[in-house]
Amino acid sequence: MCGIAGFSGSTQSLSKDTFAKALETLNKRGPDHREIFQEGNLFLGHARLSIIDTSNNGHQPMSDPSGRYTIVFNGEIFNYEELRKTCVSDVTYTSTSDTEVLLHLLIRKGKDAIALLNGFFAFAFYDKHENTLLIARDRFGVKPLLYAQTQEGFAFASEMKALLQLPVKKEIDFDTLFLYLQLNYVPFEHSMLKGVMKVKPGHYLQLNGTAIVANEAYYSIPFSPKNYTSLSYEESQIELRSLLEGAVERRLVSDVPLGAFLSGGIDSSIIVSIAARKVQHLNTFSIGFKDNPYFDETQYAKLVADRYKTNHTVFSISNEAMYENIFDLLDYIDEPFADSSAIAVYSLCQQTRTKATVSLSGDGGDELFAGYNKHKAMYRFEQMKVLNPLFAVSSPIWNLFPQSRNSKMGNVFRQLSRYSEGAKLKADERYWRWCVFADENTTATMFGKPMFSEAVMKARKQELYQLIDESDLNTSLLADMKMVLPNDMLTKVDLMSMANSLEVRTPLLDYTVVNFAFQIPFQYKLRNGVTKSILKDAFRADLPEELFNRGKKGFEVPLTHWLKTGLWSLIDEDLLSERFVTEQGVFNYDSVRDLKQQLQSNNPGDAHARIWGLLVFQYWYRKYFSA
C-alpha cells in the first residue's frame, strides 16, 4: 500500500524539489520510504507502506536491470506468485515483492497484463525508449488515481493534495458541486476541480509523451440478464462459498501484522469465519460506541470472536473521542467528502493501526447482494404495483409528520416520504432519488446564481440511467457498483485507512466473486423481503443465529447532536455565516439559513446530512481557495 505521483512535462516546467513537495503530501499513505525517479522532464514518485517484502529490495520506483522500464505501484496483487510461475518464471528476481512480478509481467505483455491481475491497484509503467506511460486502476476502484492534463504537461497522483503541488489549475467544477450537494460525495469520474479527472475503475490510460492516446476499459462486470446461471439456489450457495473462501485465502499473504474488522454484521462476520479457519488466533477488531448503545454491535461481534477463538479487541469509543477526530479528518481529505460514517471508520482505523498494518473488511456485500434499504424499497415497489399510485399522491400527508433519523417513528415517516416521492418517478429517476438527500429543485435553490448546466449533469447521469431496468433489479446493483461503491464506500475506507497508514483488503470484491454475483438473478439476493439472502444462507451454519435475527444498523454517529452543539459556532458564526457565504458568492444565504433553522427544528429530516455536506465543502474551500 502506497501513494504514487507522476508528472510528464512538455518543457522543463517542474523542479525536482517541487515534485518532492508533492510526494511528501502522501506521507501517510507511505510512511516507510519515499523516492523519486527522474528521466528528463518526467518524474515518478513513490511513498511506501511496506507490506510484502519489507526489505529495501521492495522499494520503488522500481526499474528493470536494463533501465528501460520503471514502475510505481500502489496496492497488492494477490495472485503474484501464480503469475510469476506461469508467465515470468524465467526472470532472475532481486526481491520477493509483487511489484517486481508486475514490472516484468508488463514488460512481457504490456496492457494485456492488467486483466491477469487479481488485486487492487493503481500503477504507472514507463518505457524510456518509447517515451510512453501506461497507467491503470483496479476493476472496482478500491485504489484512487487522479490525473490532469495541462499546458505544462500531464500529472497524476493517488490524492488531489499531491496534484495541487504540481502545475494544476484550481477552478471549481460547479456541475460536480451540484451533484455533491445531492449525494454528499463526488460521483463519476469527475472531481471538484475542472480538468482534474479520475481514472475510471477497470480502465487504463496510455500516453505518448504528454498526450493521452487511449483511455479504455480492460474490464466490465459480465452482466447479461438473458444469460443467468443455470445453478439452483442451493447450488449457487455452494459456488459462492467456494469463491469467497478462495478470495479470503488470497488476501492473507502479508509480511506485517494482519487482522480483520469484525463489526457484528453479516459481511465482516463471514470474512472472519473464513479467515479464522486459515489463521490461528486471528486478530479481530471491533469498535463500540460508549454513548450510543443502539448502534453498538460489539455483543454480536463477540459471539463470532468466541466461536472462532480469535484474538479479539474491542475499541470502546466515546462520542467525545470521535468528535475530537473530526478536524483531523477534515484536514486530511483534499476533496469534499461528507459521508458522516467516515468519522467512525476513522476511529476504527486509528485504533486498529496500533495493533496491525493490514485488515480485512466486509465492504462490497451490500452492493453485490442487495443489502441497503433502497434495495428493499425497490423490491417492494415491484411487489406493490397496485398500491404505488396511492403512495405517489400521499407525499403531502407524510410531510406533515416529523421526519428524523434520531427516532424510530421519525425515521419511518422519513422513509415513507422518500418512498412516496420515488413512486411518482420513472425507474431511473426513482433510483437516483433514493440515492440522494435532496432533489434537483431543492439543490438548485442552494446556489446564489445559476453556476451549473442541467444539460451537463443530465449527460453525466445518463450512463447510470441507461443501466436501470425495473424488470430486473440487478441493474440497480450494477448502478451501485459503478457509482456508490467506488465514490462513496470505497473512497471512505481508502481515505480513513490511509489517513492512519492502514491497508484494508476487501475479499467480497475479488473479481471472481463479483462476476458470479452478477450471474445469479436478483431473486437469489432478496428473497421474501430478506436482504442478502444467498450470502446469509450460504454461511448460515457458520455463524451464530443471533446475527440473522436483527435489523441492519451501521456505522452511525451522533451527527445531529454535534452540529447543534459543538460544531454550531463553526456553522452559524463562521463557515455558514451570512458574512462568509455572502463574501464567497457561491451559495444563496437565504437557503442556507432555512436549512440551519430546519436543523434546529423538531422536524429536521435530512438537514443534518445536508448541513454536514455544506460544512465539509466550506472547510475545504477555505483551505484551498481562501488561504
Pull the grid cell for residue 308. Answer: 472462532
Picking from 551, 570, 607, 610, the residue whose alpha carbon sits closest to that of residue 406 is 607
Angle in degrees, 0-180, between the axes of helices 174-183 and 454-465, rounded to the nearest 10: 50
> What's the CA gap between 138 and 616, in Å, rounded?
28
Asked if residue 525 is part of any domain, the answer here is: yes
Indicate whether 274 and 236 sit together in one domain.
yes
Closest by Cα among 263, 250, 445 to 352: 263
Cα separation, 476 vs 160, whole angstroms: 30
Asked whether residue 165 is assigned to any structural domain, the reply reads yes
Q: How far apart are CA 462 and CA 327, in angstroms?
A: 36
DSSP letter (8 states) at residue 200: P
Indicate whether 259 and 361 sit together in one domain: yes
pLDDT at 225: 84
Grid cell listed for 99: 511489484
Cβ atoms within 10 Å of 229's Cβ, excluding its own: 13
Residues 120, 21 share a domain? yes
Specify if 424 maps to a domain.
no
Q: Which helix (H) or strand (E) holds 573?
A: none
Distance CA 540, CA 532 (A): 12
Distance CA 329, CA 312 (A): 26
- Are residue 290 and residue 169 in the same domain, yes or no? no
Could you tell me if 198 and 328 lie in one domain? no
Helices (DSSP H) in 499-606: which residue ranges?
A: 511-517, 533-538, 559-564, 568-570, 578-584, 589-599
In 168-318, the DSSP E strands lie at 196-198, 203-208, 211-217, 258-261, 283-289, 311-317
Quick one: 127 and 266 in the same domain? no
- The residue out of 548, 569, 592 marking a domain boundary is 548
Angle 457-182-198 from CA coordinates, rounded to 5°: 60
Going by C-alpha positions, the residue among 360, 353, 352, 363 that lies closest to residue 278 is: 360
Half-sphere exposure of 140 (CA within 13 A, CB side): 31
Q: Is residue 596 assigned to a domain?
A: no
Asked if 487 and 539 sit in the same domain, the reply is yes
Domain that holds residue 166: 2-217
Residue pair 3/26 in contact (Cβ under 8 Å)? The answer is: yes
Regarding whether 169 and 231 lie in a shared domain, the answer is: no
Structural contact between residues 318 and 561, judged by C-beta atoms closer than 8 angstroms: no
What φ, ψ does residue 114 adopt, rounded to 5°?
Answer: -60, -40
Among 503, 528, 548, identify where a domain stops: 548
Which residues are within 8 A (CB) of 200 and not within 5 positions of it... i.e. 6 or more apart? Answer: 137, 141, 189, 217
Number of H helices, E strands in the chain: 28, 17
Q: Are 154 and 101 in contact (CB under 8 A)?
A: no
Q: Which residues pair with 136 in a beta bridge?
A: 123, 204
In a domain, 382, yes or no: no
530, β-bridge pairs: 527
- CA-based torsion, 430, 431, 432, 437: positive or negative: positive
Task: Give the span between the Cα atoms of 441 and 438, in whole angstroms.
Answer: 8
CATH of the domain at 359: 3.40.50.620
* Residues 18, 108 share a domain: yes
Q: Nearest-CA neighbor of 167 among 27, 37, 21, 45? A: 21
Same domain? 202 vs 267: no
The whole-model pTM stands at 0.94
* Residue 602 belongs to a domain: no
The answer to whether residue 91 is domain-embedded is: yes
Q: Per the structure, how many domains does the chain have? A: 2
Rg (CA), the chain: 24
- Tally of residues, the chain: 627
Nearest-angstrom CA–CA distance, 47 and 62: 12
Q: Are residues 195 and 251 in the same domain?
A: no
Q: Give how far Cα 307 sits from Cα of 115, 310, 507, Å.
A: 38, 8, 21
Nearest C-alpha neighbor of 480 from the set 435, 538, 539, 419: 435
Largest CA distance in the chain: 73
Mean pLDDT by 10 residues, the chain (627 residues): 88 90 96 96 96 92 97 97 96 95 98 98 98 98 96 95 94 97 97 97 97 97 90 98 98 94 95 96 91 78 96 90 91 96 94 96 97 89 68 60 61 66 81 93 93 91 91 95 97 97 98 98 94 97 90 74 93 97 96 96 90 98 88
Task: Give the model's pLDDT for residue 589.
Answer: 97
Query: Among the residues of 98-173, which ranges form H helices?
Result: 98-109, 160-163
The answer to whether residues 541 and 484 belong to one domain is yes
| Cα gap 427→429, rounded to integer Å | 6
Angle, alpha carbons 489-205-488 (nearest 5°): 10
Using CA atoms, how far residue 253 sits from 61, 413, 438, in Å, is: 22, 47, 43
Phi, psi (rounded to 5 degrees) for 568: -65, -40
Cell of 55: 526489505
User: How many angstroms separate the CA atoms of 347 and 363, rounded?
Assistant: 17
Sign of torsion, CA 206 208 210 214? Answer: negative
Q: Is 208 helix (H, G, I), strand (E, B) or coil?
A: strand
Q: Which of 189, 217, 245 is the last residue of a domain?
A: 217
CATH of the domain at 167: 3.60.20.10
Residues 400-404: contacts with CB under 8 Å, at least 24 apart = 402/602, 402/603, 403/603, 403/604, 403/605, 403/606, 404/560, 404/603, 404/604, 404/605
Active site residues: 2
* 466, part of any domain: no
Beta-carbon contacts of residue 119 (< 8 Å; ≥ 6 apart): 75, 76, 77, 78, 79, 80, 98, 138
Question: Strands, E, within 12-94: which ranges?
Answer: 33-39, 42-48, 62-63, 69-77
CB 301 within 8 A of CB 348: no
Alpha-carbon distance of 224 to 202, in angstroms, equals 18
